[in-house]
A and B are shown apart, each in its own frame.
Chain A
């Protein structure tokens, strides 16, 4: 025991000598009290759970307002609340759109544990979409609300353009998952056009981008939601399977055509004229497209694999390894910050290069998956376009309807009812 104590006594001065203390801290004669280093705490954990509760309540309320109350005005009020709470009060963070990346990182990087509240933010709107359609988009998402509020004179986007641009969210989703899983960056958060407004600060190019989206949003209904939002892509898929959904009319459709122009997001489909399409022709096209699908997936996957190195460049480790490699050729001047920081760690160069190579290889593999995903999305889109469904009524398209409740007021059947209709199927 005494020996251990002696060893500790000998070692203590050695420890302090090892530190960076070039000037020994003074012993004050007059007993001066050292001030303490303050550590203001982070936001209370309870508040994060409160956010989840508010999200769940808002989703439930949105579903009720859209499907049962069928009231655009009430949806509008909830939308303003969501914009104020999730947007300006919570400053847009954490949001389900960004949470995609936390989930991707958690799946691929075992050292990252996703906080349960973030997981709840990711899952809740998906569950609600499975039950009631895109009620999150309708009045809970602050990004959607910001665009919905500025929508002033909606223009029709030509169908071919809307279909083509509609592929972008899936590509963006794939890219965001690839870069988050590879530990590079969270691009959805980095290039969120509205979050600088919620924070009332941000870099100038992001503010310009946000302003551009708002100006565009005056004429093109929810451009970000329809043509970029990666979470919208997930909700689109989920709401195609939904149990309950928006129906334009509370009763029977009388095909009065009044709702044709009601949807600013081009989500209303007209009834198909009877017996006009050639079945045999359609079948041949469909068979061709189904055969083309694996070819598309393989070709796009190969392209993705080829661009794996380009994607990998966004990874910090790879960037630092590149800079360290370049630094070997430096003949004058100072090394760049990254090299200075790396030298400070004292790690051998070879170890860094090895790590970079292994990350690059996983990006090549990820490139296959990303490319394959893009090929799959394009192929399925083509197949979807070539399948013709018969519709007898005016319908809101399951995937792209954002449950804004605008179309209800256009339906004469709606006005005949003394009380809000109950929509059950």
Chain B
């Protein structure tokens, strides 16, 4: 110990002081000028999304944290829903051969003539966006993709965001973590 004590001279104190100075100054600058108290999470801007299908394949989770969600107020409750049915379906019923959804995650139920309601079963949905494409190409666009934050790991670098061709992913404040479609066109 005597050896070590001898070594802690003015030079060591200066070196430590210089290091501490840099870290404290840098930290204070970052905290004051560049930091925000709010946390951020990843979300999809549904108005930028082009339904390319990357959300299903690029997520680090085995089943993507991106799911299709439904803005019911925008839905036309169509009998022939282009988000639910294959193009030119054999008949307008829930037969698997008529459905667009590969996992059968959309439940179709009769409300009143001629309206049908479509509800997503998120446990089955894998975020492939086939229904979203169908709905926004020929329908009201009430089906859209969102990152579900009960599933999302909130990776520092979202790997879907890195692969998104339309740059629809962005960081949003964690207390407003959804970019939902609304009835008004401002969305």
Residues of chain A touching chain B, judged by Cβ–Cβ distance below 8 Å, are 15-16, 18-26, 28-30, 32, 34-43, 45, 48, 91, 93-95, 98-99, 101-103, 106-107, 112-117, 119, 123, 126-127, 130, 185-186, 189-190, 196, 199, 201-203, 238, 240-243, 247, 250-253, 316, 320, 336-338, 340-342, 344-345, 392-393, 423, 425
Given contacts A113-B36, A117-B39, contact A425 B5 (CB under 8 A): yes
Q: Which residues of B contact A119 (CB under 8 A)?
A: 27, 30-31, 35
How far, in angstroms, from A123 to B39 measured CA to CA in the complex? 17
Seed contacts A19-B74, A34-B72, A199-B60; 6 additional CB < 8 Å A-B pairs:
A20-B141, A35-B70, A37-B70, A42-B152, A243-B16, A338-B166
In the complex, what distance in Å separates the CA atom of A93 from the CA atom of B180? 26
Q: Is the CB of B34 within 8 A of A113?
A: yes
Residue pair A25, B185 in contact (C-beta under 8 Å):
no
Contacts of A126 in B (CB 8 A): 23
Contact between A25 and B156, CB atoms less than 8 A apart: no
Q: Which residues of B contact A123 (CB under 8 A)?
A: 23, 27, 30
Verify if B174 is at the interface (C-beta below 8 Å from A). Answer: yes
With a cutoff of 8 Å between Cβ atoms, the chain B residues found around residue A29 in the complex are 112
| B-chain residues with CB within 8 Å of residue A199 when the two chains form the complex | 60-61, 153
User: In the assembly, what is the distance between CA of A130 and CA of B16, in Å?
Assistant: 7
| 13 intermolecular pairs with C-beta atoms under 8 Å apart | A20-B185, A25-B75, A28-B115, A30-B112, A37-B70, A102-B156, A106-B34, A116-B37, A130-B23, A189-B156, A247-B4, A250-B1, A425-B4
The binding surface of chain A is classed by DSSP as loop
B140 sits at the interface (CB 8 A): yes
Of A23, A102, A337, the residue contacting B166 (CB under 8 A) is: A337
CA distance A393 to B185 in the complex (A): 75
- Give the distance to chain B from A167, nearest Cβ to Cβ, in Å: 21
Residues of A within 8 A of B38 (CB): 113, 115
Contacts of A336 in B (CB 8 A): 165
Task: Name the one of A22, A39, A127 contacting B177, with C-beta atoms under 8 angstroms.
Answer: A39
Q: In the complex, A146→B93 CA distance in Å? A: 53
SS of B interface (majority): loop
**A423 to B1, alpha carbons, bound, how many Å?**
8
A-contact 0/1 string along B150-187, CB 8 Å cutoff: 10111111010010011110010011011010011100
Identify which of B1, B52, B112 contacts A251 (C-beta below 8 A): B1
Is the beta-carbon distance between A93 and B30 smaller than 8 angstroms? no
Q: What chain A residues lie within 8 Å of B7 (beta carbons)?
A: 425
Q: Which residues of A contact B136 (CB under 8 A)?
A: 20
Let me know if A341 and B50 touch, CB within 8 A: yes
A253 cross-chain contacts in B, Cβ below 8 A: 3
- Whether B174 lies near A42 (C-beta < 8 A) is yes
- How long is the Cα–Cα vector from A99 to B48 in the complex, in angstroms? 28
Q: Which residues of B contact A99 (CB under 8 A)?
A: 156
Q: Which residues of B, 96-141, contact A by the 8 Å Cβ criterion?
A: 111-112, 115, 117, 119, 136, 138-141
Cα–Cα, bound, A199→B139 (Å) = 38
User: Counting CB contacts under 8 A, is B92 at the interface?
Assistant: no
Nearest CB of chain B from residue A55's CB, rounded to whole Å: 15
Q: Nearest CB to that of A108 among chain B residues?
A: B34
Q: A43-B154, A241-B18 are in contact. Are A25 and B74 (CB under 8 A)?
A: yes
